[in-house]
Chains A and B, each alone.
Chain A
Amino acid sequence: MDSIWYKILGVVVSFILAFIVGMTYMGLSRKIIARVQNRKGPPFYQNFIDAMKLYSKSTAIHHGLMQHLGPAFIMVSSIMTLMIVPVLNDGKWFPNLNFDGDLIFLLYIMVFGPLGMALGAGQTGNPNSAIGVTRGLSQMVGFEIPWVMALVALMMQFKTTSIVDLMEVQAQSGTWLMFSSPFAFIAAVLAMLGMFRYSPFDIVGAPTELASGPVSENGGKYLFTLMSSGAVFAFAKLTLYVDLFMGGADNLIVLLLKTFAIYLIPMLYGVVSPRYRTEQAIRYFWGWPTFFGLLAILHAVFF
């Protein structure tokens, strides 16, 4: 059973699941944001329609090899993240590589894609793309600090760097880590605000300001790949949060409920917030989130 084909099948299945769930969540978020702003909003399946349209379009132009490969780079990062994060508590249905990488590896593979994408965006020569990339990288330096602090606190407390082990800890003690390590959870959630790039941290795409930033100049299949990568990545990150702080999930229904609950946080925070300037965003993450990160580490060391 443990053959290479079984694993590849697992990856394909998890990919399709992540694609569908991620796309649905993105559609739901559009609907919810619209309702908050007292608009009707598109139907929740609008994103599937968009994706199909983009996929079926043929592309006429490209800006060179790097731009052509940019979406493939970001896809590598999204799927690798998905492959390292255990989808359900027993790995049977979605076998992946989670025994071959740990949290530190995950931190690094998560930035592989954005950097590859940044190169693709750079080659188009659109100044808005490059400005978006510089903003994105700057913001990343901001939110990675509390995020790493939260992870370091968990890793120190339980003497492991493996996601599976951290899930094991929760299964054995019966408490979710969001309750037993509350400060780490707060720091991680605040860092997540930047990770999901809803406002006030939507400075990378920045509608009406940067004209969608790095993804401009991409159309047709390129944009389709970028979009599906975004959906997969969002699902993988949400699953990671559920695995780390909410004890993972035993079946798909629970997984969907938990991931959607987490997903609501950055979305609802974003609906009512105007956009930050880049330096404000960075300093935001180095303020309270970092403070909670410090508390988390102190908590992990002394308790």
Chain B
Amino acid sequence: MDMIYLIFLIFLSGAVISWLAGKVNHVLQDILFLASVIVPSVLFYMNVSVGQEVHFKAGGIDLSWGITDFGWIFSLIVLGLGVLAAIYSVGFMKGKERRGYFYFNYVLSIMSMLGILFSKDFVSFFIFWEIMTWSSYLMVIYNGKHTQSIGIKYFIFSAIGAYAMLMAIVISHSVTGNFMIADLITAYPVLSFNLQLLIPILLLVGFGVKAALMPLHVWAPGAYSNSPMAYTSVFSGALSKMGVYGLSIVMLSMISHLPEGFWFREVLAWMGAITAAIGTLWAVKQDDAKKLLAYSSVAQLGYIVTGIAIGTELSILAGLFLAVMHAIFKSTLFMAVGAIERQTGTTNFTEVTGLIRKMPWTFLASLMSIIALAGIPPLGGFVGKWMLYESLITSDHYMLIILVFFSSTAAFLYCYKFLFGFFLGQEEKEWAHVKEAPVLMVIPMLVLAGLSFVLGTFPGLILKPIDAGMQALGFAPTNQHLWDTSILFNSWGNQVALQPILYAILGIFVVFTIFLTIKGYKNTRYVTTKDISSSGEVPKEHENLTFSINFFQPFMRAVEPVMRRQIDKYYNGFANGLEALFDFTRKIYTGNGQTYAIYVILFLIIMLLIKNNVFG
């Protein structure tokens, strides 16, 4: 049997077995769950090479699975994150109910995402896509809360995306006569203009829903915050990247052949940038960490879409690098929120404060990820941001860069809110009992945080597979003239050398840390956060000095006109309109037999009148 079948078989049976094993023994269940994620991942990297394919027939349709260089980048996200988040999940789910349900859906999600990357034909692509939607939907409603408002919303948007995709698939079948993705790409340049426009738009709707692109993003904040955090790290980190994967293929191998593709790309790039700006502003407003990170995910995916839509070599590198980085730092942050939720029972900034001394490792991981998110050197986020800006400047997108820059500066606000809200500020007695999260949860976070540190100085490690993937899509090699292991270039020849910068930063930091610490830290004594000079008065024990409500009130006042409009309101208005329409039809279909009798008689009379040419 081919290794590819074996991988999927292990996933599938692992999902079922790790569900059933819960009836026997919980430790066994955990081990089986980890095995069913880790074993196929190891098998994949050991035994499956790029270009390897399997073909088979199902229901008279030729199906074909194999991984491309481009899919391989995303497999790093899916399986790397999948394994780490699985380890985290074991710690996270300890003592929780319905672990079998969680494990089952988790393994299925990972399998379906890998399946999407493997699919070379639309049928298996669509099937895996639907498994992904279903398993994530079941995770969204895992805790049984808000199944109506959040679960249904997610499902409706996924369904809209799926139908759009299905239509595109049917159209493509009518054009090419089979379901192969490669055949559509070959046939695309000679299609009629209407089809050339229709197929990408339909596909982009399908992918845009998963990538939470405005105006299809409204499901994301609710769905991300309602699923268990152990899963949300995969949901936001990897699952949304499937949208990016599809979108990149559509943009790079179809739209780029279109003479009018320029406008298509511009519109999408602007949509990405607007998504980023709006998402950021809403993230700043949130008081709940899950919601904050959810909106932040929407915003970050906006940058990624912008990068890919611009379509220059540097911008695509930037978009894909940001995709990898986002998977790393955002999943770490969701894991940190999960750890805090597990230890304190809440994720609301207005309730929990001052955890830095209680959960130092969680703080360290969050700090690194926040620095990466904010795009501050020397961490990995900076590399992506730098390439994005340079690509926007060198390709003359002068207004777009302002919007992107605005949203990434405004992102500092919610970055600080996240760190301050949870870890800094007044230490309240209420949270004095809190302890660090279990080791199983801390280690994946630290591993991911360490990764974002390494990639900040040696981005070449991940740019190399990205470059290979881009070459598979027909781009020229970009090594040496846009990037080297630790140097970045733009197309005007300007550069950033990351190694000297890292050493300089570390050097200065160490020197001044020593300067401050000599005769400093050891001889001084720690005082509580109540022992402060608040305008010369010493606050009493019972005085509440916590500052967390209306954290960015002045900023929110300044941007208030933008926030007044909400796309969600329009959707709700549309839904209300539909409901009114249904109400109206209810007046016709009264359910009363006599009314129906009148309808029949009226119909007959009208028919008779028509027959007797009364109207004519």
Instruction: Check B496 against A63 for contact (C-beta < 8 Å).
Output: no
Instruction: Check B398 against A152 for contact (C-beta < 8 Å).
Output: yes
Size of interface on B: residues with Cβ below 8 Å to A = 77
CA distance A241 to B240 in the complex (A): 42
CA distance A60 to B533 in the complex (A): 14
Query: What is the CB-to-nearest-CB distance from A126 to chain B, in angstroms, rounded to a whole number?
Result: 5
Instruction: Check B530 against A125 for contact (C-beta < 8 Å).
Output: yes
Query: What is the CB-to-nearest-CB distance from A248 to chain B, in angstroms, rounded to a whole number?
Result: 18
Option from A105, A111, A123 in Cβ contact (under 8 Å) with B501? A105
Most buried by A among B393, B410, B523: B393
Instruction: Check A104 against B386 for contact (C-beta < 8 Å).
Output: yes
User: Which residues from B are CB-within-8-Å of A60?
Assistant: 524-525
Given contacts A155-B393, A156-B396, A221-B520, contact A101 B552 (CB under 8 A): no
Instruction: Check A161 against B406 for contact (C-beta < 8 Å).
Output: no
CA distance A283 to B535 in the complex (A): 30
Query: What is the CB-to-nearest-CB distance from A298 to chain B, in angstroms, rounded to a whole number?
Result: 9
User: Which residues from B are CB-within-8-Å of A153?
Assistant: 398
- Which chain A residue shows the least CB distance to B399? A297
Flag whether A244 is at the interface (Cβ < 8 A): no
Given contacts A140-B409, A217-B533, contact A119 B419 (CB under 8 A): yes
Interface segment, B105-113, B511-519, B572-580? B511-519
CA distance A228 to B101 in the complex (A): 58
Flag whether A173 is at the interface (Cβ < 8 A): no
CA distance A175 to B261 in the complex (A): 41
Q: A46-78 toward B: CB 8 Å interface, digit per residue (1/0)?
A: 000000000000111111101011011101100
CA distance A282 to B281 in the complex (A): 14
Query: What is the CB-to-nearest-CB distance from A242 to chain B, in angstroms, rounded to a whole number?
Result: 21
Interface segment, A24-32, A34-42, A142-150? A142-150
Flag whether B526 is at the interface (Cβ < 8 A): yes
Given contacts A68-B517, A72-B509, A75-B508, contact A105 B356 (CB under 8 A): no
Given contacts A104-B386, A279-B554, contact A71 B526 (CB under 8 A): no
Instruction: Check B524 against A119 for contact (C-beta < 8 Å).
Output: no
Given contacts A152-B398, A159-B492, A279-B555, contact A61 B419 (CB under 8 A): no
User: Which residues from B are CB-within-8-Å of A111?
Assistant: 374, 376, 409, 412
Instruction: Check B529 against A63 for contact (C-beta < 8 Å).
Output: yes
Interface residues of A in 101-144 (CB under 8 A from B): 101-102, 104-105, 108-109, 111-112, 115, 118-119, 122-128, 130-131, 133-135, 137-138, 140-142, 144
Instruction: Check A105 against B426 for contact (C-beta < 8 Å).
Output: no
Which secondary structure characterizes the binding site on chain A? helix
Query: What is the CB-to-nearest-CB distance from B527 to chain A, in angstroms, rounded to a whole number?
Result: 5
Instruction: Check A76 against B410 for contact (C-beta < 8 Å).
Output: no
User: Which residues from A are CB-within-8-Å of B144?
Assistant: none
Instruction: Check B533 against A216 for contact (C-beta < 8 Å).
Output: yes
CA distance A221 to B413 in the complex (A): 28
Option from A59, A75, A148, A300 in Cβ contact (under 8 Å) with B524? A59
Interface residues of B in 528-544 (CB under 8 A from A): 528-535
Flag whether A206 is at the interface (Cβ < 8 A): no
CA distance A159 to B526 in the complex (A): 53
User: Which residues from A are CB-within-8-Å of B519?
Assistant: 58
Size of interface on A: residues with Cβ below 8 Å to B = 78
- Which chain A residue shows the least CB distance to B507? A8
CA distance A127 to B513 in the complex (A): 25
User: Which residues from A are CB-within-8-Å of B490?
Assistant: 161
Flag whether B9 is at the interface (Cβ < 8 A): no
Most buried by B among A83, A108, A156, A286: A108
Which residues of B pack against A, CB within 8 Å?
A: 354, 356-357, 367, 371, 374-377, 382, 385-386, 389-390, 393, 396, 398-399, 401-402, 405-406, 409-410, 412-413, 415-416, 419-420, 423-427, 490, 492, 494-497, 500-501, 504-505, 508-509, 512-513, 515-517, 519-521, 523-535, 545-547, 551-552, 554-555, 557-558
For the complex with contacts A61-B526, A156-B396, A293-B402, 17 further pairs of A-B residues with Cβ separation under 8 Å are A59-B520, A63-B527, A80-B504, A80-B508, A101-B497, A104-B386, A104-B389, A126-B529, A127-B534, A134-B551, A134-B555, A137-B555, A141-B412, A145-B402, A156-B398, A221-B520, A283-B558
Of all A-B residue pairs in the complex, the 3 with the closest CB atoms, nearest first, are A125-B529, A122-B424, A278-B554
Q: Supply 18 A–B pairs (Cβ within 8 Å), ascending by A.
A: A58-B519, A62-B520, A62-B524, A69-B516, A71-B516, A80-B508, A105-B501, A115-B412, A122-B420, A126-B529, A133-B420, A138-B555, A142-B558, A145-B402, A152-B402, A225-B515, A278-B555, A300-B398
Which residues of A pack against B, CB within 8 Å?
A: 58-64, 66, 68-69, 71-73, 75-76, 79-80, 83, 97, 99-102, 104-105, 108-109, 111-112, 115, 118-119, 122-128, 130-131, 133-135, 137-138, 140-142, 144-145, 148-149, 152-153, 155-156, 159-162, 165, 211, 216-217, 221-222, 225, 277-279, 282-283, 286, 293, 297, 300-301
